[in-house]
Each structure stands twice: as C-alpha cells, then as structure tokens.
Amino acid sequence: MLKDYMDKKGLEYAPFDKARVHKIYALLKPNLKLPNHTVHIMGTNGKGSTGRFITQSLQEAGFSTLHFTSPHIFRYEERFFINNKIVDSETLEKAHNFLQSFSFINEASYFEYSFFLCLVLAQGLNYLIAEAGVGGEYDATSCINYDASIYTPIDFDHKDYLGTTLESIATTKLKAMDGLTFIGLQQETTKKIALKIAKEKNLKLVFQDDTPSKEVKAYAKKYHLYPFLESNLSLASLFLDSIKVPLLSKPLDLRGRLEKLQDNLYIDVGHNLHAARNLSSIFKNITLIYNTYKDKDYEEILHTLKPILKKVLIFKVDNPRILAPEALKSTLESLEIKSSFMQDLTLDPKETYVVFGSFSLVEAFLKRYEGVL
C-alpha cells in the first residue's frame, strides 16, 4: 500500500543527489503523457495560495487541472488537488501501483516519489500547476519543462539547502525559471538576479506591479483577503491575463492561510521570517499559539513577532523535527516574552489567538480543536 511505502520512505534518509531525479525521470518519461500546459510555482511564501488561485480560475473556465502542493496538513492525498477536489485514495493507489512496475523508481526520495505520482495523475489533463518543494534548480519539480514559471516573494528559508544569503537563495531558485516567467513583489537584489538569469536563458519576464487591478481589488474586498493574499492573487492574475482566463469568482479553497476558525481564533501554516512579518503587519496584542521545527530561525521569528505579542502558549506537537520544549521555553525567556504550556483549548473571549509556526502545529491543533467542537 502507498501509505506503508511512503511511511518507510519518510523514515529513510535519502542523501541529496541533484542528478537522481533527472535520471529517474529520463527512464520514466517514455511511459508518461504530460498535460498540454505546465506551470511552475516557486518562491518562499505564498506558493500554495497563488497556485490555488490559478487552479480554481482555470477550473471555472472549463479546463481540467492538477494542483500539486506540499506539505499536507491532515492527509497525504491533499497534495494532489485534481479538478477542484482532493484525489481519492483509490486513484492515488492506482498511480502508486503503476510506478511500482518500474524497479528504478524505488531510488526516489519521499518528495521525488510524490512528484512522480503527480505526473502519473496529471496525464490527460489540460494543466499541471506544480508547487516546488524547497524550490530551485535542484528541486524535484524542476525535472520537467514548463510553459510558465511564477515566483512568489523570495526570502530566507531552508538555509541548509539554499544558502545563507538572499543572493544565494534567490539565485538557486531563479535558475529554475523556464518559459514565460512572472516575478512577484521582490527585493531589488532579487530583481537584478532575475533579470540576469532571464537574459542568459533568453526568457521574457513579467513583473508584478505594486497596485492590484480593479478585478483583484474587487475580489479581495468581497472575500476579505488579507494584504498578502491579495498580493498573491494579483500575481496569479498576471499569468491568467497572459492566457486570457478570468479570475475565479468563488472563495479560495485552501486551509490554513490565516484561516479564521472563530471570531478570536486564527490558524496560519506560516513558518518563516517572511510569514512572521506578514503576521506583524496584520495583528497587534495577540496570544500566539506556537511551536516550531528545530531547523527554523525561530529566535529571529519570535523577535520579529515580539512587538505584537501579549504572550506565547507552547502547544505540544509529537514530531521528531519539532524543537525540544525546554529549548523553546528558554528562547522565549531570553527574549523576555511571557510564555506557558497550553494545557487545554479554553480560550478567553476577550483575547485574540493566532496558531502559527509549522504545518505540523496546525495539524495537531486542528485535530484537537475540531475534535472538541
């Protein structure tokens, strides 16, 4: 079964090998028929919502689509959004069985195998909208060619893989550009690198404007989008305009993007410095329900959030990647941020709560919250 297979892959360490995914795809390619149109979504934040805005717009216009995202919140199937719904387990199992007919496929890492499942599922569809993982020239999603590349804001994240400077991170991500390339709102350093790489590859760039169109503004007003989501919609609209497809009319179908659960409770899968800055621009005087992976810049993230925090509630998450609770508590004390461990889901109606820090945190919180309701 796929679940057992992927659980085992998740436990096994696949050493980084930039050539592996290309070797596997070269062997698999003769057995696949990719969609007519392929779109690559890269960047640091906003990839999921930008891709979903595009996907839903294409669906409303009558096109068949697959939106590949990662990671998932509850179920692995969430990574494969086919024709406006999450793939069913039976269809996904069939794709797995197809891949298992090739012995070479077992060399693939967890994420590489996920993307190959995506390619099997996307056969016969009009559009594949693929979200990069860590993102960039060595990402598994970069093993195929694309008609269009879309870059959401690039910022610091995954320093172990992408480098410790904005220049190195942006360069690694931007080297993957292919086809007509759309550049979201970026720092000047990133824009210059994009222009240089586009010139080397002889690719056309389309830059996002600071001012959203009337259509974007109207949609954002109708569905009460936060500024960062409005910006993501504006970027998506640039691509949609290029293929003469109108903006979606229905609300965004994607969980955990500063989602309002009740009047004083929000959840957000943000987990890096850029997401923390977005949060700081929206809220003040909040109680942060928090936990984090140990490989994140959690001290800098908490320092950025400190001006808007009343206190932090540390929410227990059972995941080997999560920072030890004592280490998190110590960091909060050194930053002079009031904190305690969250014992239950009793919330003060006079306070505003935001769950923020990682996909695993949002998953753990929602399982308890929705189990209580």
Q: What is the CATH number of the domain that holds 339?
A: 3.90.190.20
Integer CA distances (angstroms), 185 to 46, 47, 120, 275, in order: 11, 13, 33, 14
Residue 13 has pLDDT above 80, yes or no: no
pLDDT score at 161: 60
238 plus 263 within the same structural domain: no
* Length, in residues, of the chain: 373
Q: How far is CA 350 from CA 264, 323, 347, 353, in A?
A: 8, 30, 9, 10
Q: Is 348 within a domain?
A: yes
DSSP annotation of 218 reads H
Long-range contacts of 106-111 (CB under 8 A, 24+ apart): 107/20, 107/24, 108/14, 108/20, 108/21, 108/24, 109/9, 109/14, 109/20, 109/140, 110/6, 110/9, 110/10, 110/14, 111/70, 111/140
Which of 107-121, 127-141, 202-216 bottoms out in mean pLDDT, i.e. has the lowest?
Answer: 127-141
Number of structural domains found in the chain: 2
Q: What is the pLDDT of residue 371?
A: 83
Say if 83 falls within a structural domain.
Answer: yes
Q: Are 180 and 107 found together in one domain?
A: yes
> How far apart are the C-alpha atoms of 356 and 343, rounded to whole Å?
17
Any domain includes 334: yes
Question: At residue 118, does pLDDT exceed 60?
Answer: yes
State whether 168 and 273 are in the same domain.
no
pLDDT band at 214 (very low <50, low <70, confident <90, very high): very high
Cα 219 to Cα 248: distance, rounded to the nearest angstrom: 9
| Same domain, residue pair 204 and 337 | no
**55 part of a folded domain:** yes
One domain, residues 236 and 272: no
Is 217 in the same domain as 77? yes
Query: Does 302 lie in the same domain as 228?
Result: no
Residue after which a domain boundary falls, among 194, 214, 243: 243
The pLDDT tens digits of the residues spanning 178-202 come to 999 999 999 999 999 999 999 999 9
Same domain, 263 and 210: no
**What are the tens digits of pLDDT across the range 19-65?**
999 999 999 999 999 999 999 999 999 999 999 999 999 999 999 99
Mean per-residue pLDDT, 330-341: 98
Residues 207 and 278 in one domain: no
Task: Please give the Cα distance from 332 to 22 (Å, whole number).
Answer: 43
Query: Looking at the domain assignment, is residue 250 inside a domain?
Result: no
Q: Are 47 and 231 in contact (CB under 8 A)?
A: no
pLDDT recorded at residue 372: 60
Does any domain span residue 354? yes
Are residues 191 and 284 both part of a single domain?
no
The Cα-based distances of 17 to 108, 227, 280, 356 in angstroms read 10, 38, 38, 32
- Residue 138 within any structural domain of the chain: yes
Tell me how far apart the alpha carbons of residues 41 and 37 are, in angstroms, rounded to a whole number: 13
pLDDT at 14: 72
For residue 140, tell me if it sits in a domain. Answer: yes
Query: 300 and 178 in one domain?
Result: no
Mean pLDDT of 148-168: 83
Domain closes at, from 243, 278, 295 = 243
Rounded Cα gap, residues 209 and 235, in angstroms: 9
- DSSP for residue 81: E
Q: Is residue 320 domain-shared with residue 238, that is, in the same domain?
A: no
**Domain coverage including residue 305:** 259-370
Query: Which CATH number belongs to the domain containing residue 24 in this structure?
Result: 3.40.1190.10
Other C-beta atoms closer than 10 Å to the C-beta of 105 total 18
| Token representation of residue 290 | 């928090």
Domain boundary (210, 243, 276) is at 243
